[in-house]
Amino acid sequence: MATTTTNRRCLITGGAGFVGFHLTQNLLSDDATEVTLVDNFVRGRRDEDFDCLRSSSRVRIITGDICDPAFYQQLEGRSFDEVYHLAAIIGVKNVLERPHDVIRVNGMGTLALLDWFVQSNSGKLLFSSTSEAYAWTKGICDLPIPTPEDVPLALTDLKNPRASYAGSKIFGELAVNQYCQQYDKPFTIVRYHNVYGPHGTWDGGREKAPAAICRKVAQASLSGGSEIEIWGDGTRTRSFMYIDDCIKGTQMLTASDITEPLNIGSSELVSINQLVDIVEDIAGVQLQRKYLLDAPGGVNGRNSDNTLILAQLGWEPSTKLRDGLNITYDWVKEQIASGTASL
């Protein structure tokens, strides 16, 4: 039997997370690619699908804390063609309750990774930033919707715990730029906008809104539940990007020579109320909506201006929201019905 020669080695921090899981699947579709996943498994999923992924002879799992400089001893003598830095603490609940940990992990973790990366023989670094980087701009000037990449990045209330996430990602972009330019290392930065799809998680305050809403609607259809909780009054708008489009854009950006931050998101803008409407229609159920007092610091509207990435790489999302929600709802319902995820 002929053996496959590995000619591309990739490292993914946060490799057991939502985007990391799908990115690994995509990378492994190339038989000549080997993937090393780094995760502390505090948030990452360990399920049958992930076990199947990790059973591949071309996947290596390293459990560790990227904030600990000693961790990088496990990477000594190894170099990677591509390094995807996805590890971070996310989720409104985590940000509100543990802002100091958000700063520590997202800030110190990125610095520790960069200290290793610039001294290694590894190639391209992709840093995953966020649309939250624009969230506080509204405090100093009008925030255009859709939002282009050249708007000022600002933090207007450092005492607000919600500033910890946006601040840590802005700091990460700064650190990646300065480290990689100083050491002449190739890099790219992507600002993700609300990614959703199968294998997303919803517990522990780390849900993406579509996955959480799909879960609530699935609960109603399976157990007769009738209530869904929504932050604010449900009129806030977002653009939700299906995971396959996210991964395609990520791969195209990594393969490019672009160093300026680029948005990867959907231009299909919907409110949370409209999102619930669509999922209810898909499921054939209707829920009673309970509106909660919103956490301070939220943004009324967030939408991705994809002009630059379309012009430079030809990327644009191809999955309509309803189609992506159909797939996500079916997966969530199957997880609950099988007992993989509890009601």
Could you tell me if 106 and 165 are in contact, meaning their C-beta atoms sit under 8 angstroms apart? yes
Q: Are residues 141 and 73 in the same domain?
A: yes
Distance CA 225, CA 286 (A): 10
Element (H, E) at 276: helix 272-283
Ranges of the chain whose pLDDT falls below 50: 1-2, 203-207, 342-343
What's residue 211's pLDDT?
Answer: 78
Active site residue 192: no
CA dihedral 167, 156, 235, 263 (to 10 degrees): -40
Instruction: Residue 332: give its domain's CATH number.
Output: 3.90.25.10
Per-residue confidence (pLDDT) for residue 109, from 0 to 100: 97
Which H/E stretch holds residue 189? strand 187-192
Q: What is the model's pLDDT at position 1? A: 43
Q: Determine, yes or no, domain membership for 132.
A: yes
Q: Is residue 3 part of a domain?
A: no
pLDDT at 213: 83
Q: Does residue 100 share a domain with residue 188?
A: yes
Domain count, the chain: 2
* Sheet containing 82-85: order of strands: 59-63, 33-39, 8-13, 82-85, 124-130, 187-192, 262-264
pTM: 0.92
Instruction: Please give the DSSP secondary-structure letter assigned to residue 105.
Output: I
Residue with tokens 């160093």: 259
Q: Output the domain CATH number for residue 118.
A: 3.40.50.720
- Measured over the CA atoms of residue 229, residue 232, residue 233 and residue 237, the dihedral's sign is negative
Segment 122-178, tens digit of pLDDT: 999 999 999 999 988 988 888 898 999 999 999 988 999 989 999 999 999 999 999
134 and 217 share one domain: no
Pair of tokens at residue 302: 């967030």
216 and 138 in a single domain? The answer is no
Q: Are residues 50 and 117 in the same domain?
A: yes
Residues 57 and 137 in one domain: yes
pLDDT at 287: 84
Q: Are residues 38 and 116 in the same domain?
A: yes
Clarify whether residues 125 and 14 are in a common domain: yes
Residue 204: inside a domain: no
Residue linked to tokens 């939002």: 147
Judgement on whether residues 258 and 218 belong to the same structural domain of the protein: no
Query: Among 300, 265, 16, 313, which residue's Cα sits nearest to residue 131?
Result: 265
Of the candidates 28, 24, 36, 43, the residue with the CA atom closest to the CA atom of residue 71: 36
- Please tell me which residue in 72, 165, 242, 329 is annotated as part of the active site: 165
Q: Which H or E run contains 313? A: helix 307-313
Does any domain span residue 36?
Answer: yes
Indicate if 229 and 159 belong to the same structural domain: no
300-318 CB burial, b ≥16 within 10 A, e <16: ebbbbbbebbeeebebebe
- Same structural domain for residues 34 and 140? yes
Which pLDDT score, from 0 to 100, does residue 286 have?
85
Distance from the first to the final alpha carbon of the chain:
47
Q: Scan for tokens 């977002």, then name that residue.
A: 238
What the block records as the tokens of 193 is 């906008």
| In contact, 29 and 53? CB cutoff 8 Å | no
Q: Which domain holds residue 104?
A: 8-196+240-266
- How far is it, in rounded angstroms, from Cα 324 to Cα 294? 27
Same domain, 85 and 15: yes
Instruction: Give pLDDT, residue 161.
Output: 92
Using the CB atoms, write b or e for 194-230: b if 16+ within 10 Å. Answer: bbbbbbbbbeeebbbbbbbbbbbbbbbbeeebeebeb
Considering the domain boundaries, does residue 201 fall inside one? no
